Amino acid sequence: MTNKTTITPRERYVAALTFGTPDRIPFEPGGPRESTLKRWSAEGMPTDRPWRDALAEAVGLPGECWTPACGLDVDFRMRPTFEEKVLEHRDGHYIVQDWMGNITEISDAYDVTYIRRAVDFVTRKWHKFPVENRADFAAMKERYDATDPDRYPEDFDERVVRLRDRKGVATLSFSGPFWQLREWCGFEPLCMLLIEDPEFVREMIAFWIDFVSRTMARALDSGVVDAVRMCEDMAYKEKSMISPAMTREFLAPAWTRWAGEARQAGVPLVDMDSDGKVDELIPIWIESGINVCDPIEVAAGNDLVAYRQTFGERMAWRQGVDKRCMAKGGTTIEAELARLEPVARAGGYIPGCDHGVPPDISWPHFIHYSRRLAEMTGWL
């Protein structure tokens, strides 16, 4: 690592994930959900300031340890959305039409907006999906007009000017084809369509590829995008949700096109977000031009040390610290960080919790883990 003192958080982040020589590794311990923050507050975390500020103070870190996010606010969602409304309330559950057009069930312990907002760990059940046939899809396409000017904020051009000298990371995030078709059709129906009507699946994917490309083109042309982030969540605890062969056939063309467009625009980072066991998918992501992967869930069987040995500098990683070890604290989390330290030292890795920080992790244990993480990444 270099001793450069004028490096910006953005430069540090990009250098860390492109096997460069940052002054230190970005500090990204992981983010708590609502129930986690409630526990931490009860355990003494100050609530008169953001949790990040409280953690930095508790660990003894400067405020500039965090990597700011620069908001581009490009909207890839359907426009207009469906009306979100409660259809039925029974047996302690709401039956809801959510804004994506799904008929969904959630405990009445939660506000119905929790269905589509990752504020906490919430169990949901899906009853019906908005796309069941080609007629449904024809209607759905009307909600995805890439030329809609409201997909970009009114002040986008002014933001671009300000972002020329940005210190934070500007990221474009959107759903990949598997995630998006699952939202339209449902997981099991989509899997059946892949077998029974693959041409319909190809039609939907082709539409989504074109929509994403056209929607993000203005942002890419602006020259201020640091990372393109595709969200897929397409693996279980032990296997991917569809076979590698199907992945290459149906999904890789989308990833390859978007990664190519990002590279042509000078974007250094193309990031894939997928939970679950992803070992079968990583080679396909690399072939498609993706060079960053997260969150590398340990409980799903991912082994980041082995992945580094197998894939070398062809893939960089984020997160990957076992949340179960964080909950145990003490020597358990110290051993987990020691396991990952060689990967961090070799570059191409920003360590952090391997998903959202759950409420079984106490505030004292999170401070202890964060302090050790700060030492490992060069902040202490």
Any domain includes 3: no
Any domain includes 2: no
Based on the domain organization, do 93 and 158 belong to the same domain? no
Any domain includes 21: yes
Which positions ≥6 away from 351 have C-beta within 8 Å? 25, 28, 319, 320, 321, 337, 340, 343, 344, 373, 376, 377
Based on the domain organization, do 31 and 87 belong to the same domain? no
Give the mean pLDDT per block of 10 residues along the chain (380 residues): 70 98 97 95 97 97 92 95 93 93 90 76 89 98 98 97 96 98 97 98 98 98 98 94 97 98 98 97 98 97 97 98 98 98 97 96 98 97
| Half-sphere exposure in the Cβ direction for 262 (13 Å, CA) | 26
Distance CA 286, CA 291 (A): 6
Tell me, what CATH number does 363's domain have?
A: 3.20.20.210
Residue that is written with structure tokens 């982040």 in the block: 13
C-alpha distances (whole Å) from 107 to each of 112, 115, 127, 270 are 9, 10, 14, 36
Any domain includes 365: yes
At 147, which amino acid appears?
A: T
Any domain includes 285: yes
Any domain includes 248: yes
pLDDT tens-digit map of 289-340: 999 999 999 999 999 999 999 999 999 999 999 999 999 999 999 999 999 9
Based on the domain organization, do 246 and 151 belong to the same domain? yes
Based on the domain organization, do 289 and 225 belong to the same domain? yes
Based on the domain organization, do 257 and 347 belong to the same domain? yes
Based on the domain organization, do 115 and 263 belong to the same domain? no
The pTM for the full model equals 0.94
Is 211 within 8 Å of 144 (Cβ atoms)?
A: yes
Query: What total number of domains does the chain contain?
Result: 2
Based on the domain organization, do 250 and 114 belong to the same domain? no
Any domain includes 337: yes
Based on the domain organization, do 160 and 308 belong to the same domain? yes
Any domain includes 28: yes
Per-residue model confidence (pLDDT) at position 5:
56
Based on the domain organization, do 170 and 67 belong to the same domain? yes
Is 341 within 8 Å of 310 (Cβ atoms)?
A: no
Q: 266: domain range?
A: 9-77+131-376
Q: Output b/e per residue, 181-195; b: 16+ Cβ within 10 A.
A: bbbbbbeebbbebbe
Based on the domain organization, do 153 and 116 belong to the same domain? no
Based on the domain organization, do 42 and 87 belong to the same domain? no
Based on the domain organization, do 102 and 219 belong to the same domain? no
